[in-house]
């Protein structure tokens, strides 16, 4: 169930951020957002642990802040897989949106985790 909740949350965040940043983040349609959220979730499950292990020395030197760059790389990789219906204007925009997505994911997941207790 956690897999589908991640997809739903990423879908909602993609739709929201494409409305908030229309000049910097292009999203073709809601179907593209759904496919992108599925791809992002799959990449976070399979590719992110490999990248985290690969960049472990840099991550230790930056006290974990390099995780934000890894998240941005995975989001950029998602845009590359989707193609011209899902793109960002620059890597800075990718970094900001991935940072906002990380913060929203953390806040929402911690809220629902506290509700279960």
pLDDT of residue 68: 94
DSSP string spanning 81-93?
A: HH-TTEEES-HHH
> 15-56: per-residue pLDDT in tens?
999 999 999 999 989 999 999 999 999 999 999 999 999 999
Query: Is the sign of the CA dihedral 98, 103, 109, 113 positive or negative?
Result: positive
Q: Output the pTM of the full model.
A: 0.89
Q: Can you give the pLDDT at residue 110?
A: 86
Cβ distance 102 to 74 under 8 Å?
no
pLDDT digits (tens, 9 = 90+) for 53-100: 999 999 999 999 999 999 999 999 999 999 999 999 999 999 999 999
Q: What's the pLDDT at 14?
A: 95
Q: In the structure, what pLDDT confidence band is assigned to residue 113 with cuts at 50, 70 and 90?
A: confident
């Amino acid at each position: 169930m956690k897999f589908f909740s991640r997809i739903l949350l990423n879908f909602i965040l993609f739709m929201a951020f494409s409305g908030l940043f229309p000049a910097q983040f292009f999203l073709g349609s809601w179907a593209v957002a759904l496919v992108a959220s599925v791809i992002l979730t799959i990449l976070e499950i399979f590719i992110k642990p490999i990248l985290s292990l690969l960049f472990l020395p840099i991550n230790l030197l930056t006290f974990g802040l390099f995780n934000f760059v890894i998240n941005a790389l995975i989001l950029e990789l998602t845009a590359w897989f989707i193609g011209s219906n899902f793109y960002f204007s620059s890597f800075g925009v990718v970094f900001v949106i991935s940072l906002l997505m990380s913060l929203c994911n953390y806040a929402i997941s911690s809220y629902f985790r506290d509700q279960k207790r």
